[in-house]
Amino acid sequence: MARTSSASKQDQKQRIADLREKINDCYVSTITDIERYAKEIIELATAVKDRNAEGLAFLDLSFYHCSSTNEYKKSLDCAQRGIDLLSGAQRTYYLPYYHLNRGRCFQFMGDQIRAQEEYLDAISILEKRKNRTVEETRWMGSSYYNAYILFNQGGMEFSREDFLEKAYLLYQQIDDKPGLSNCYNSYASIHYKKKELPETLENLEQAYKLSSEMQAYTHMSIFSANIGLVHAQLGDVSKFREYFELCSKHTRKTKSRFHEAHMNGQMGEALFFLGMYDESLERLATAEEIFSELGAKSSLTEILRKRSEIYALQDNYRLAYEYHTRYAELIRERFNEEKATAIMRARMVYEIEEKENEAAILKEKNEEIQQYMNKLQASNNELQQFAYVVSHDLREPLRTISTYIKLLEKNMTGRLDREEQEFIDFVVNGTRNMNELISDLLTFSKISYITETEQVGLQQLVQSTANEIVLHYLPAKDPVIHIGKLPVIEANRTHMKQLFGNLISNAIKYNKHVQPEISIQCEDTGKMYTITVSDNGIGIAPEFRERVFQIFQRLHSKADYHGTGVGLAICKKIVDNMGGQITLRGNNRKGSDFIFTLPK
């Protein structure tokens, strides 16, 4: 409780200092006590008008709400309020800690772009400081460590193990046992992905030992769950139960819903390895409920994927497909949210630039805009890498569903009634459609990363591509394709095949004639070649001619025309990357003319 009004100002300041020491101790032990100490400091600091003490207490509350109650928006509000109250040297000193706290919140919320920016801002500030304090070294280690975790979520190909090594060395400098224990846990994760279970267990036990010495219950909760999971994989049921009992005990002390969800998720995974599928699903359902409440989308996606996999193994293909669909939708939602954030930030930069008029200020702002553009480009690259990895990961449960439903159909030949056959056809068609969508998404995400070019003779390439497509549509349709003289250009051969293949295929597919007619002509227009792909198909209304180039945009139902809505978006991205433009117009055959330019 705060002192009475008769207490001297000096006594109140001393009480603030005492509480400050208590909070520092809480960071490595009982995080749950931070709240009451910080609130008392705020009350006292308000009374003595010490804005710096009040601001620092709000930063403590930011850490508490992120790590204990998992109220991430509340944590962000406290962080902002704290940094706004701080001033002078105190504000400068604690600025990287402010960025670190915000980064943690955004990471738990699944906003990887903003989390990345916050961690890199913290690192940038701290790298410039000489003779860093123990506290600053700890912040820097945490920023590098969390950035490593962030990049590692994209898969081993995007991992930044150099960040992990820097974090380990920084923690080692100050003998920070909780930080070192985190690093050992991550080294264990690296071995785990390589299926090196003895090495995994060795690192996890070292992590648990260090955290136990500090009574760091949040760390002990995570590490004991991870150890229990490895013992389950090794088939040691006794050790599995022993460590999950310890995990349950530690988790109760953290009072953290996130740690409760993590425990249930790991236990669900462990029970899966032990073949106890029903019990596994119960634990995963609990983890799913909590992660959903917390808005922890990154953790939730893995739970949905695992549930889909287990349902497939239980031959419950309806639920397997349902959870796989939810998994795919959540991945897409996260992708769209991060893309929207990147676009919003680009717009803000543009508005700032527009308001600056003086030459000196304009020059300064142009430099800032370039930095933002670099960040935006890096973020966009991360999004495309993310889509590439996701496209691969989505295929694993989908392949399982497809294989088992085909086996089921084969084994039940002649024994299925009409309704049962329709149900199986629904699953088969659904998995095929999803696989096509994943393939197109993978193609779309890879376009910017494939930069190898060569001299490509378009005449031969387009002719062979057209022949392949015509064979696919025979005998239902007998297309006639007129190919004019086409040039040799510097381009990526695969991209050219995709570009012309998509346009020719669409011209045949969206065509009611038994004998579709397609014309491909090229005109030399100076620095560029202008190529026109013309058809006598169903045409596209003027109001939809820009929309068709957007990803996932369809003008017709799947019942009328099969497709994913990605093909023309791929065409546009290929042409854009080469510095050209693509448009479309109607023609006198009531079909469409797709007109695009390619550099010489």
SS (H, E, C) 475-520: CCCCCEEEECCCCEEEECHHHHHHHHHHHHHHHHHCCCCCCCEEEE
Task: Note whether 582 and 521 are within 8 A (CB).
Answer: no
Q: Is the same domain home to 548 and 419?
A: no
Closest CA relative to residue 598, chosen from 583, 584, 582:
582
pLDDT value at residue 357: 56
pLDDT value at residue 359: 62
Q: Is the same domain home to 426 and 505?
A: no
pLDDT tens profile 368-426: 788 877 776 766 666 666 665 665 666 677 777 878 788 888 888 888 888 888 888 87
State the distance between the two ends of the chain, measured CA to CA, in whole angstroms: 78
Residue 68 lies in a domain: no
User: Would you put residue 206 in left (φ > 0), alpha (ψ -120 to 50) or beta?
Assistant: alpha
Distance separating alpha carbons of residues 278 and 293, to the nearest angstrom: 23
Q: Is the same domain home to 393 and 420?
A: yes
Q: Is the same domain home to 536 and 585?
A: yes
Task: Note whether 200 and 184 are within 8 A (CB).
Answer: no
Closest CA relative to residue 491, chosen from 577, 394, 596:
577
Q: How many CB atoms lie within 10 A of CB 367?
A: 9
Residue 368 lies in a domain: yes
Residue 348 lies in a domain: yes
Q: Which of 399, 420, 449 is the last residue of a domain?
A: 449
List 488's β-bridge partners, or say none.
457
Residue 595 lies in a domain: yes
Q: Give the DSSP letter string of 507-568.
A: HHHT--SSS-EEEEEEEE-SSEEEEEEEE-SS---GGGTTGGGSTT--SS-TTTS---S-HH
Residue 164's alpha-carbon distances to 55, 150, 185, 386, 424, in angstroms, are: 31, 11, 11, 20, 48
Residue 304 lies in a domain: no
Distance separating alpha carbons of residues 543 and 548, to the nearest angstrom: 10
Closest CA relative to residue 229, chosen from 196, 274, 287, 178:
274
Give the helix/strand (H/E) hosting 417.
none
Q: Is the same domain home to 399 and 499?
A: no
pLDDT value at residue 2: 42
Residue with tokens 């740690």: 259
Tokens found for residue 249: 């005990």
Residue 508 lies in a domain: yes
Q: Which of 449, 481, 509 is the last residue of a domain?
A: 449
Task: Note whether 433 and 394 are within 8 A (CB).
Answer: no
With a CB cutoff of 8 Å and minimum separation 6, the contacts of 138 are: 170, 171, 174, 176, 179
Closest CA relative to residue 50, chosen from 90, 79, 7, 18:
90
What HEC string does 345-375 produce? HHHHHHHHHHHCCCHHHHHHHHHHHHHHHHH
pLDDT value at residue 387: 62
Alpha helix (H) residue ranges in 412-457: 418-446
Q: Is the same domain home to 369 and 436?
A: yes
Alpha helix (H) residue ranges in 27-87: 34-48, 51-64, 72-85
Residue with tokens 């569903």: 401
Q: Is the same domain home to 439 and 465?
A: no
Q: Is the same domain home to 582 and 539?
A: yes
Residue 432 lies in a domain: yes
> What's the structural domain count of the chain?
2
Residue 319 lies in a domain: no
Q: Is the same domain home to 431 and 503?
A: no
485-519 per-residue burial string, b: 16 or more CB within 10 A, e: under 16: ebeebebbeebbbbbbbbbbbbbbbbbebeebbbb
Q: Is the same domain home to 507 and 528?
A: yes
Q: Domain limits at 593?
A: 454-599
pLDDT value at residue 155: 47
How large is the C-alpha radius of gyration of the chain? 29
pLDDT value at residue 217: 87
Distance separating alpha carbons of residues 298 and 302, to the nearest angstrom: 7
C-alpha neighbours within 13 Å on the C-beta side of residue 481: 26
pLDDT value at residue 127: 93
Q: Is the same domain home to 395 and 485?
A: no
Q: Is the same domain home to 503 and 443?
A: no
Report CA dihedral (172, 177, 181, 183) to the nearest 10 degrees.
Answer: -30
pLDDT value at residue 167: 95
Q: What CATH code is carried by the domain that includes residue 564?
A: 3.30.565.10
Q: Which of 392, 422, 449 is the last residue of a domain?
A: 449
Mapping DSSP to helix (H, G, I), strand (E, B) and coil, where does residue 46 land?
Answer: helix
Q: How many CB atoms lie within 10 A of CB 316?
A: 15
Q: Which residues of the chain have pLDDT under 50?
A: 1-4, 6, 155-158, 559
What global pTM score does this model have?
A: 0.49
Distance separating alpha carbons of residues 198 and 245, to the nearest angstrom: 22
